[in-house]
Chain A
Amino acid sequence: MSEPPKDPVKYVDSAVYLPYNYVAGDYKARYLAALKDKRIIGSKCSKTAKVFVPPLVCSPESFAPCDTFVDVADRGVVTTFCIVNIPVIGRDLEIPYVAASVALDGAAISIFALIQECKPADVRMGMRVEAVWKPDGERQGDHEDIQYFRPTGEPDAPQASYINRL
């Protein structure tokens, strides 16, 4: 035991170590596995036929089960976005980068995605984008199989078509 402190003890350091092993659930697992085949799948509401990506077990809107799976396109519309200047812990993305809400064709809700291959200042609401996949052989069946989305060059979608699909 060393000398007692001369000054009052003011702080106590406590490092927390908590391991977690999360269950993806069959729905998410199916979605992730399909990415390996360059497929994006969603689940369809048994009541309204709306498609949720990533797949949900239950429609948050109708409360009905979503028990069938359908493919959606790997392209869609940027409904809104922001340009990020703060680094994310545990990821090395070059700043600034664009984080966008993308409504894929066929899906009733949007996903969050990275937009690249264009200047952040060129990104706009309504811009048509497509997924850029990792090459064949490199895809693992996890969310990094889609590296990012890039502009397709198609004309922008009209505001009315996406402004309520944020």
Chain B
Amino acid sequence: MTALRNIAIVGFAQLPIVARDEHRMATEMLYPAIRRALADCGVERDDIDYQIAGSTDYMDGRPFGFVAALDVMGSWPARQDLHLEMDAAFCAYYAWVRMQAGECDTALVAAHGKLSEGEPNRVLNLQLDPYYHAAIGLDAASTAALQASAYMARTGTTDRRLAEIAARNRTAGARNSDAQVRAPASADELQHTPWLVEPLRSGYVPPVGETATCLILAAEGKAEKFCDRPVWIHGVDHRTEMQTLGARDLSRSASTQLAAQKAFAMADLARAGDVDVVELSAATPAEELILCDALGLDTHADRPVINPSGGPLCGNPIMMTGGIRLGETFRQLAGRAVGREVHGAARGIAHATQGHCLQHNIVWVVGSERRWS
């Protein structure tokens, strides 16, 4: 594999995830996140070559809702810019591609959205094929339940197992001051929560929450000035699958498996188990298990630590969740995961997803050392 440019994550800022911020619009939440990320890097807005943002009109309840974000991103003078109707983790990917093309050396990746303003579940129903899936009223909870059901049927995974995974995430989230859900909960407690859509209990899924995030990426040569411990990108790949639920093996994530294979090859990572930290965009414990299978992770092992942030179960601001996984992995490796550090973390995996039943997945491999010399 030919040597690529060493690019690092050098900054990450987010507001704490809350159920609803009554005082600020989405762009007003984004502004402090951007200022903070730049300040943490010790740079000015003009030191950043490229900006890219992620959000969705439907979640915003405003067509062209993202246009207003230009006004809080420092878009004057005019900047080289892009907006994707996708999670921040995918925006970060394109920023990385741009840097590989030599088009920029630094990038600001912003994401915003006030999920509390609408009913995300209704929007997620509209994300499905309008003829069959949406028409029968499937929403995110029901499609996730279908997937959980398929997984449990194939593997014999029990309700208890799901409760244990949820409890582990809740314990971790309790140490994360940015998480929305910060009260630990035991497997017993969670296993006694009512069914949301069987086999998923209400304790196994996140509440609706919102925040704003900003990641800063920089290429070798700049990264060292922006951050004392840059987190270098070793490998990354993303793949989607066709949406049709009945046409996929929902008990597996073929796209995650393929993306991981490619990302690991680029990273020269023999197996997922060789890293210290893994942050997965798993909105349910079943998703976590499916993703671990796809990555080749043993979910009973202590290392790597999975979702030391508490994961999406403790805060799932749609369009930002994936970016936060990347940001949390950065925090761990850069020594900034206050109160929840995974000691000696030197390599990590971050994952993000889009669409129902893990339709589209991106896998990042990062490390404290440069990948290419």
Answer whether A and B touch in the complex at a CB cut-off of 8 Å: yes
A residues in contact (CB < 8 Å) with B: 12, 14, 16-28, 56-58, 60-63, 65
B122 near A17 (CB under 8 angstroms)?
A: yes
B-side interface size class? 20 to 34
B72 near A18 (CB under 8 angstroms)?
A: no
Q: For B74, list chain A residues within 8 Å (CB).
A: 63
Q: B17-25, B172-180, B334-342: which one contacts chain A?
A: B17-25
B117 near A22 (CB under 8 angstroms)?
A: yes
A12 near B28 (CB under 8 angstroms)?
A: no
B24 CB contact (under 8 Å) in A19, A21, A23, A56: A23
B158 interfacial by beta-carbon distance below 8 Å:
no
A interface majority secondary structure: loop
Instruction: Evaluate whether A23 and B20 lie within 8 angstroms (CB atoms) in the complex, with A12-B135, A58-B72, A63-B45 already known.
Output: yes
Q: For A21, list chain B residues within 8 Å (CB).
A: 116-118
B4 interfacial by beta-carbon distance below 8 Å:
no
B residues in contact (CB < 8 Å) with A: 20-25, 27-28, 31, 45, 58, 61, 70-72, 74-76, 114, 116-119, 122-123, 126, 130-131, 134-135
B25 near A28 (CB under 8 angstroms)?
A: yes
Other contacts beyond A23-B24, A25-B25: 10, CB < 8 A: A12-B131, A19-B118, A20-B118, A21-B117, A22-B117, A57-B28, A60-B70, A60-B71, A60-B76, A63-B74
Question: Closest residue of chain B to A21, judged by CB?
Answer: B117
Q: For B58, list chain A residues within 8 Å (CB).
A: 18
CA distance A12 to B132 in the complex (A): 10
Q: How far is the CB of A66 from chain B (nearest CB, A)?
A: 10
B25 near A24 (CB under 8 angstroms)?
A: yes
CA distance A135 to B24 in the complex (A): 31
Instruction: Evaluate whether A60 and B119 lie within 8 angstroms (CB atoms) in the complex, with A23-B22, A28-B25 already known.
Output: no
